[in-house]
Each structure stands twice: as structure tokens, then as C-alpha cells.
Amino acid sequence: MKKKYKEKDIVELMIKIYCDKNHRNKGQEKDENGLCPHCKELVDYAFERVERCPKGEEKGFCSSCEIHCYSKEYRAEIRKVMAFSGRRIIVSHPMMTIKHLLMEVSEKVKKLVKNKRN
């Protein structure tokens, strides 16, 4: 359950970074989290995908999953956000980035060990 919350925090932060830099002066009203309507919709969609993950408690991060839950349009949009925000989040939130990378590596190691046993 903890992983789901962390993934939601990270994806929301990355979308916020993207929105701040790309939709700042578009004349769109921002919500209480500083997101334009389009980015708020993307956050809501990403959260729904995390909650409905078919892997349940064994869920890893979406970026390393073999199942593609996102529609093509949203997948393209989230990739654009991740590519843009990935470099920036390292500077703005280094500890969160390190923790995320460690969790991702840990998941890959667990998967390798599990596959070797089978």
C-alpha cells in the first residue's frame, strides 16, 4: 500500500513541475494544487490507474511494468511529462528521487530472484 502512495506523490509532483513550466502563462485557471484543468485530468487518470492496478499489492512502478494500463493518448502524455520533469526533479527533490530509484532497483532485484527460483 505504501508504494501506491509514493507513486502517486511522485507522479503528481512530476505533473506539477511540467504544468508549472509549460502551462504557466496560458491563461488557464489553476486548482488548489497549482494544476491547470488538463494536468489535473492527467493526475486523476494516473491515480485511477494506480488504484486499479491488476497487480494489486505486488505492484511495482508503472514505468517498469509489462502491462500497459494507460490508453495510448495518456501514455504518450505521461511519457512527455516524465521526460520533461525527470531531469528537473533530481535537482528540486533529490531525496525523493534517490528513494524512488532505490525502490525501483529493489523491485527489479526481487523480480530477478523470484524468476531464478522458478
Q: Could you read off the pLDDT tens digit of each residue along the chain, which spans 118 residues? A: 577 788 889 999 999 999 998 887 666 677 778 899 999 999 999 999 988 888 777 776 776 777 888 899 999 999 999 999 999 999 999 998 888 888 888 878 887 888 887 6
Q: What distance lies between CA 59 and its chain's CA centroid?
A: 13
List alpha helices for 23-71, DSSP H: 37-51
Task: Please count the structural domains in the chain.
Answer: 1
pLDDT at 27: 67
List alpha helices for the chain, DSSP H: 2-22, 37-51, 72-92, 94-117
Identify whether the C-beta of residue 89 lies closer than 8 Å to the C-beta of residue 17.
yes
pLDDT at 116: 81
Query: Which stretch of DSSP H or E encloses residue 65?
Result: none
The CA distance from 18 to 43, in Å, is 12
pLDDT at 43: 96
C-alpha cell read off for 16: 506539477
C-alpha cell read off for 64: 517498469
pLDDT at 46: 94
The boundaries of the domain holding residue 103 are: 2-117
This prediction has a pTM of: 0.81
